[in-house]
């Protein structure tokens, strides 16, 4: 397997497993009890995070690019088939607005929250296909915003998604056999962010990494809610604390409270894209729900990528 294929597979499968195991951690919030479940369960089931990553990958593959209307339609089709995946209220509200008012998905998304749009973490949680497919694109920020604004129109919602896409793109390009360039990585993300809210939080990530602190303290300082500036920074922190271990990154992201499935999906997308598919425990990979479809999407993305 080529390096790039292993990384695309690592990003897609890694994110879905972070989501599935993070969801499980709501019920089993201690490592010991979580391990028992990971052994016991025959299938690891993902939530809306991965359902939407899958939709994003499907749409990119179908169109060969980002097409907002097709992306909205794909999200809606997948939601209607599996509405029980744990979606927040945003997507179904947008879908019914599109239906009733005959407007675009992006216009509907702009109408949410009294016209400010959402700054939830829903655009960042699903963005791994964009970070993989466009990892060399000079306009990655714009591509990320295009994929985000179908549901998340607030500048912070889009900025968070763009930072996560950039983190995945950096992870794809770095060689895991070399020393991990932590400072360059975080500095690049701070530069990439546009909104003061995201920028300040990323600076706090950097400060917490260089001080001797516990993950639970970092999680409290950074936040771990469904707002993107209150959870993406801790997902990044989890990866940056454990760049050489998928498993340690996952447990850090999902065992410190908050929006566990999405923290897992975001942190593990970066970890998988950096370390590659082989870094993910095989017993977990084998149990991932819908694994062959997710792997197939990852491989197709790697084959048709533009650069």
Q: Which one of 80-88, 91-99, 126-134, 173-181 is the stretch in contact with Mg ion (CB under 5 A)?
A: 80-88
In whole angstroms, the minimum distance from the beta carbon of 143 to Mg ion comes to 23
**Of the two residues 85 and 154, which places its CB atom closer to Mg ion in the complex?**
85
Q: Are 37 and 287 in contact (CB under 8 A)?
A: no
**Of the two residues 186 and 255, which places its CB atom closer to Mg ion in the complex?**
255
Kindly report the number of other CB atoms within 10 A of residue 175's CB atom. Answer: 9
**Of the two residues 110 and 126, which places its CB atom closer to Mg ion in the complex?**
126
Q: Which residue in 199, 261, 284, 288 binds Mg ion (CB under 5 A)?
A: 261
Read off the DSSP letter of residue 180: P
Q: Which one of 48-56, 66-74, 190-198, 232-240 is the stretch in contact with Mg ion (CB under 5 A)?
A: 48-56
CA distance 108 to 102: 9
Q: Are 258 and 290 in contact (CB under 8 A)?
A: no
In whole angstroms, the minimum distance from the beta carbon of 48 to Mg ion comes to 4
**Of the two residues 47 and 238, which places its CB atom closer to Mg ion in the complex?**
47
Rg of the chain over all Cα atoms, to the nearest angstrom = 17
Kindly report the number of other CB atoms within 10 A of residue 51's CB atom. Answer: 24
**Of the two residues 22 and 72, which places its CB atom closer to Mg ion in the complex?**
22
CA distance 275 to 178: 11
Q: Does 259 bind Mg ion (CB under 5 A)?
A: no
In whole angstroms, the minimum distance from the beta carbon of 259 to Mg ion comes to 8
Q: Which residue in 86, 92, 155, 257 binds Mg ion (CB under 5 A)?
A: 86
Residues in the chain: 307
Q: Which residue in 8, 12, 49, 169 binds Mg ion (CB under 5 A)?
A: 49
In whole angstroms, the minimum distance from the beta carbon of 159 to Mg ion comes to 21
Structure-token match 């216009």, residue found: 107
Q: Does 48 bind Mg ion (CB under 5 A)?
A: yes
In whole angstroms, the minimum distance from the beta carbon of 102 to Mg ion comes to 29
Q: Which residue in 47, 53, 238, 279 binds Mg ion (CB under 5 A)?
A: 47
In whole angstroms, the minimum distance from the beta carbon of 233 to Mg ion comes to 18
| Neighbouring residues of 239: CB distance < 8 A, sequence distance ≥ 6 | 167, 249, 253, 267, 270, 271, 274
**Of the two residues 227 and 261, which places its CB atom closer to Mg ion in the complex?**
261
**Of the two residues 48 and 159, which places its CB atom closer to Mg ion in the complex?**
48
Read off the DSSP letter of residue 103: -
CA distance 227 to 90: 13
Residue nearest to Mg ion (CB): 47
Kindly report the number of other CB atoms within 10 A of residue 50's CB atom. Answer: 30
Kindly report the number of other CB atoms within 10 A of residue 213's CB atom. Answer: 14
Structure-token match 């993950």, residue found: 215
Q: Which one of 83-91, 170-178, 223-231, 276-284 is the stretch in contact with Mg ion (CB under 5 A)?
A: 83-91
In whole angstroms, the minimum distance from the beta carbon of 49 to Mg ion comes to 4
CA distance 232 to 122: 11
Structure tokens at 57: 């990958």
Q: How many residues bind Mg ion (CB under 5 A)?
A: 5
CA distance 134 to 168: 10
In whole angstroms, the minimum distance from the beta carbon of 66 to Mg ion comes to 22
Contact residues for Mg ion, defined by CB under 5 A: 47-49, 86, 261
């Amino acid at each position: 397997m080529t390096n790039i294929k292993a990384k695309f597979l690592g990003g897609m499968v890694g994110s879905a497993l972070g989501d599935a195991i993070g969801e499980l951690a709501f019920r089993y919030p201690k490592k010991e009890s979580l391990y028992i479940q990971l052994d016991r369960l025959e299938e690891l089931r993902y939530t809306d995070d991965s359902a939407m990553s899958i939709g994003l990958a499907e749409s990119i593959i179908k169109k060969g690019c980002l097409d907002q209307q097709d992306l909205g339609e794909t999200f809606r089709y997948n939601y209607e088939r599996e509405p029980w995946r744990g979606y927040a209220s945003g997507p179904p509200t947008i879908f019914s607005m599109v239906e009733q008012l005959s407007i675009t998905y992006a216009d509907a998304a702009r109408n949410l929250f009294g016209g400010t749009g959402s700054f939830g973490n829903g655009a960042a949680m699903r963005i791994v296909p964009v970070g993989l497919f466009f990892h060399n694109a000079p306009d990655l920020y714009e591509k990320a915003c295009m994929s985000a604004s179908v549901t998340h129109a607030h500048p912070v919602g889009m900025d968070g998604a763009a930072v996560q896409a950039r983190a995945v793109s950096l992870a794809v390009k770095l060689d895991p056999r070399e020393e991990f360039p932590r400072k360059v990585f975080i500095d690049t993300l701070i530069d990439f962010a546009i909104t003061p809210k995201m920028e300040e939080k990323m600076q706090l990530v950097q400060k917490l990494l260089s001080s001797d602190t516990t993950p639970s303290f970092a999680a409290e300082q950074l936040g771990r809610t469904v707002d993107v500036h209150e959870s993406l920074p801790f997902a990044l922190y989890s990866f940056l604390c454990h760049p050489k271990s998928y498993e340690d990154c996952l447990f850090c992201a999902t065992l410190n409270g908050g929006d566990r499935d999405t923290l897992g999906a975001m942190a593990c997308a970066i970890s998988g894209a950096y370390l590659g598919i082989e870094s993910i425990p095989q017993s977990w990979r084998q149990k991932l729900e819908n694994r062959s479809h997710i792997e197939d999407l990852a491989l197709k993305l790697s084959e048709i990528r533009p650069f």
